[in-house]
């Protein structure tokens, strides 16, 4: 068998594997969603590091496990996905199937977020919430767009200030 026929048979096998894939089920799609190291979170972390801030990630000993915690300034930062935390922007929707389950789940998420913010403030920490949509341009999270740059600048100003909370 020559090299050309080996390559063509390998291509045929790869094409067959691609055709054989089944579409993802709902549970497989949900398993693919990660809660840590998301693209919006990475954009915020990179901007904070470049601005000279040092932080800890996912402090499990704090209420709500903040995505980013700036110890020096006592600031807990949550980078929230608009869908999961029901921001109310164009990225927010509620699934039509099994709506009772989803409505209950989203309502619990909203209540938990409010409770977490309150608990952190009682402990003397300041809270910043950065919404996924504030870091997006045309549906893609990107630190290079003007909206994201403004959001990150406002977050840095908040960290340096004495304000109690901010929602960006």
CA distances, 13 to each of 3, 4, 8, 162 (Å): 15, 14, 9, 62
- pLDDT at position 93: 82
Residues facing 131 on adjacent strands: 80
- The C-alpha atoms of residue 32 and residue 132 are separated, in whole angstroms, by 18
Number of Cα atoms under 13 Å in the Cβ half of residue 131? 19
- pLDDT at position 14: 66
- The C-alpha atoms of residue 66 and residue 46 are separated, in whole angstroms, by 16
pLDDT tens, the chain, 168 aa long: 555 555 567 766 666 666 656 676 656 665 556 566 788 888 999 999 999 999 999 999 999 999 999 999 999 999 988 888 888 888 778 888 888 998 999 999 999 999 999 999 999 999 999 998 888 755 555 555 677 888 899 999 999 999 999 998
- pLDDT at position 28: 64
Angle at 167 between CA 165 and CA 168, to 5 degrees: 135
Report the predicted TM-score, pTM, of the whole model to 2 decimal places: 0.74
User: Which domains are assigned to the chain?
Assistant: 33-167 (3.40.960.10)
Distance of CA 30 to the CA centre of its chain: 14
């Amino acid at each position: 068998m020559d090299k050309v026929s080996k390559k063509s048979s390998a291509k045929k096998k790869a094409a067959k594997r691609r055709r054989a894939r089944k579409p993802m089920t709902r549970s497989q799609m949900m398993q693919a969603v990660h809660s840590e190291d998301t693209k919006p979170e990475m954009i915020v972390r990179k901007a904070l590091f470049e601005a000279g801030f040092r932080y800890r990630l996912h402090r499990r000993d704090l209420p709500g496990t903040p995505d980013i915690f700036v110890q020096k300034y006592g600031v807990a930062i949550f980078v929230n996905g608009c869908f999961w935390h029901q921001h109310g922007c164009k990225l927010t929707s509620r699934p039509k199937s099994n709506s009772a389950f989803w409505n209950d789940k989203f309502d619990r998420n909203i209540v938990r977020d409010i409770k977490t913010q309150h608990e952190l403030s009682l402990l003397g920490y300041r809270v910043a919430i950065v919404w996924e949509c504030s870091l997006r341009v045309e549906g893609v999270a990107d630190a290079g767009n003007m909206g994201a740059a403004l959001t990150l600048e406002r977050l840095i100003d908040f960290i340096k200030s004495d304000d109690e909370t901010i929602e960006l």
